[in-house]
Amino acid sequence: MRMLLFSFAVLVASSMHLEAQQTEATQFATPLAKLQLQDGDSIVFLGDSITHQCLYTQYVEDYFYTRFPGMRLKLHNSGVGGARAWDALQRFDDDVAAYKPKYVSVLLGMNDGTYIPYHDETFQIYRTDMTSIVDQIKEIGATPLLMTPTMFDARAARLKPQRK
């Protein structure tokens, strides 16, 4: 079997290995530098509406189809608008595990942050749920590729008209 190694910066730049009970960013493993893919491998894109809209996922598909036209991959978009990490956990078996992926990209956090500035209790819930997602991905023998969620836009919040 032919094994291909190649970089894929879009998915892997923010990929981290989360371990339970870690609190310092310096404790995270080095981001994954390369994907090792073969014909028939499956990649699942797990996320919220940003994933569901198929914009970045289509870029990824186009990349593979144009750079490796002879390779047949199974790419599955499991994005659901409005989803939080907790929601992704609830649908994990049907939307991730069922596809027997080799890699799972995860882009969640926009809705988890509830569109407010940093709030520690909210972040800790998100952190716990994301750690559980990573653990489940590993349990099915896949590699998680974590993408950084969109940041809170404090400027937009300041410009939003206030209700009286």
CATH number for the 47-150 domain, one of 3.30.230.80, 3.30.450.40, 3.40.50.1110, 3.40.50.300?
A: 3.40.50.1110
E strands, the chain, are: 4-6, 35-37, 42-47, 74-79, 103-107, 143-146
pLDDT < 50: residue spans in the chain? 1-23
**Of 12, 13, 73, 11, residue with least CA distance to 37:** 73
Q: What local confidence, expressed as pLDDT, does residue 3 receive?
A: 33
Q: What local confidence, expressed as pLDDT, does residue 144 receive?
A: 96
Q: What local confidence, expressed as pLDDT, does residue 154 receive?
A: 67
Q: Where along the chain do its domains lie?
A: 47-150
Strand-pair category, 4-6 with 35-37? antiparallel
Q: What's the pLDDT tens digit per position in 8-55?
A: 333 333 333 333 334 455 555 677 788 999 999 999 999 999 999 999
Residue 117, CA distances (Å) to 2, 15, 123 in order: 48, 24, 10
E strands, 38-164, are: 42-47, 74-79, 103-107, 143-146
